[in-house]
Amino acid sequence: MLIAIRYLKGKIALSNITEQPLFRIWRESLVLKELRDRTLYWGHCGKCDYRSVYGDCRVLYYAYFKDYSVPDQGCKFN
User: How many structural domains comprise the chain?
Assistant: 1
Return the closest-CA partner of residue 12 out of 54, 55, 52, 67.
67
The whole-number pLDDT of residue 1 equals 40
The whole-number pLDDT of residue 3 equals 43
Return the closest-CA partner of residue 70 out of 60, 10, 19.
60
Calculate the alpha carbon distances from 15 to 21, 26, 42, 45, 61 in Å: 10, 10, 27, 29, 21
The whole-number pLDDT of residue 8 equals 59
- Residue 51 within a domain: yes
- Residue 40 within a domain: yes
- Residue 23 within a domain: no
The whole-number pLDDT of residue 11 equals 64
Contact assessment for residue 32 and residue 26, using Cβ atoms and an 8 Å cutoff = yes
Residue 63 sits in which domain range?
Answer: 1-7+29-78
**Per-residue pLDDT for the chain (78 aa), expressed as one digit of tens each?**
444 455 555 566 777 788 888 889 888 888 888 878 888 888 887 888 887 777 667 777 777 788 878 887 777 776
The whole-number pLDDT of residue 2 equals 41
Rounded to whole angstroms, how far apart are CA atoms 75 and 78?
Answer: 5
